[in-house]
Amino acid sequence: MDKTFKHVIAVFSGKGGVGKSTVSANIAETFAKQGNNVGLLDVDLHGPNIPKLLGLESVKLEARDNQILPAYYSPNLKVVSIAFMLPTRDTPVIWRGPLKHKAVSQLLNDVDWGELDYLVIDFPPGTGDEILSVSQLVGKDANAVIVTTPQELALLDARKAVMFAKQVEMRIAGIVENMSGLVCPHCGKEINLFKKGGGKKAAEELGVPFLGGIPLDPRIVELSDDGILFVDKYPDSPAAVAFSAVCENLRKRLEEGV
Ligand code: ADP
C-alpha cells in the first residue's frame, strides 16, 4: 500500500493545557479545507483528546489488507488516535517505552494513510518517549511546531521543548503562541489576559521562526465538547483567521524554507 507524507508536522509543547490538541486539530482542518490531503495522528497515549474534539469518540477502526483504515473528520482529513484502539474511553494506558514505540510505529506504518500533503502529529505534553519514537521513525523529516502560551512559565517550558527538538535533530518549523490576547466580544477591543508577544520574543532569542499567535476565544472551550472544530464553526472569527495565517507561515517554511 502506497504511503507518502510530503510534510510531517510534530506538534508539541513543554507543558499541558497550552492548547496543543486544539492547535493541531485546527491547523490540520485548515490545511484540509484548502484542498490538501491531511492526516491527523494522535499519539497522546495517556490523554487522547483528539477523538472528542472531532466528534469521533465512538469510532472503532477496521482493517483491510493488513492496513488500518483511518476515520474521516472531513473529506480531506483522515484521523487516527490511539484512543480508537482502547477498549473503553476510561481505560488507563500503562505502557513502557518499547511498547509505546511499537504502537507509534504501527500508527505511522500500518495505517492506510495514502498520499498525504501534511501529516500532523499531536503528542502528549512534554518531551517523552513518543517524540523520541517519531524522531527515530521519521528521522530528520519531521518538523517541530512548538505551542506555548504567553506566560513566563509556559515559555520556560517551550524553551525546553526547542532544546529537545534540537537535540533529537528535528527540524524546527517554529513556535505558535496560543491564548495570545483576547478580543472582547462586546467592544472588539483586545485584552491581553496573559500578556502577549512572549512567544515571538522567545522565538527570536532561540533563533527559531515565529509562526503566529492565536487569540483566546471562549467559544473554543464551548465547542470542544461538541465535536466540531472552531475553524469550521466560526471561519470568519479572528482566531480562525489567525489559524489560516499560522498555516500560511508554516506552508512557506516547509515548502520554501522561509
Ligand atoms: P493541550 O493539548 O495542550 O493539553 P488543549 O488543546 O486540550 O490543550 O486545550 C486546553 C483547554 O484550553 C481546552 O479547554 C481548550 O478548549 C482551551 N483552549 C485552547 N486554545 C484556546 C484558545 N485559543 N481560546 C480559548 N480556549 C482555548
Q: Give the per-residue pLDDT at 87.
A: 66
Please give the number of the atom of ligand 1 that sits closest to the Cα of 182: 24
Q: Give the per-residue pLDDT at 236.
A: 94
Q: Give the per-residue pLDDT at 156.
A: 84
> CB of 179 closer than 6 A to ligand 1?
yes
Residue indicated by cell numbers 521543548? 161
Q: Which residues, including other chains, have CB under 8 Å from residue 98's CB and lie 6 or more apart?
A: none
Mutate to test the pocket of ligand 1, among 223, 224, 246 (most ligand atoms within 8 A of CB): 224
Q: Specify the residue with its C-alpha closest to ligand 1, atom 20.
A: 19
Q: CA–CA separation, 18 vs 123, rounded Å?
A: 13
10-residue mean pLDDT profile of the chain (258 residues): values are 84 90 97 98 83 90 89 97 74 68 87 96 83 78 91 81 87 93 79 76 90 94 91 96 98 88
Running DSSP on this structure, what letter comes out for residue 70? P
The full set of domain ranges for the chain reads 5-255
> CB of 13 closer than 6 A to ligand 1?
yes
> CB of 129 closer than 6 A to ligand 1?
no
Q: CA–CA separation, 201 vs 154, rounded Å?
A: 13
> CB of 240 closer than 6 A to ligand 1?
no
Residue 42 CA to its chain's centroid (Å): 8
Distance 62 CA to ligand 1 centre (A): 30
* Assigned architecture for domain 5-255: 3-Layer(aba) Sandwich (3.40)
Q: Pick the closest to residue 208 from 151, 135, 148, 159 (CA basis).
A: 159
> CB of 19 closer than 6 A to ligand 1?
yes
> CB of 220 closer than 6 A to ligand 1?
yes
Burial class (CB in 10 A: 0-12, 13-18, 19+), 251: middle
Where does the chain show beta strands of DSSP type E?
4-12, 38-42, 62-64, 67-69, 71-74, 77-81, 115-122, 142-148, 171-183, 190-191, 210-216
> CB of 17 closer than 6 A to ligand 1?
yes
CA atoms within 13 A on the CB side of 90: 0
Q: Specify the residue with its C-alpha closest to ligand 1, atom 5.
A: 19
- Strand partners of residue 79: 40, 71
Q: CA–CA separation, 241 vs 231, rounded Å?
A: 8
Q: Give the per-residue pLDDT at 37.
A: 98
Q: CA–CA separation, 74 vs 121, rounded Å?
A: 17
Q: Specify the residue with its C-alpha closest to ligand 1, atom 23.
A: 216
> CB of 78 closer than 6 A to ligand 1?
no
Distance 166 CA to ligand 1 centre (A): 26
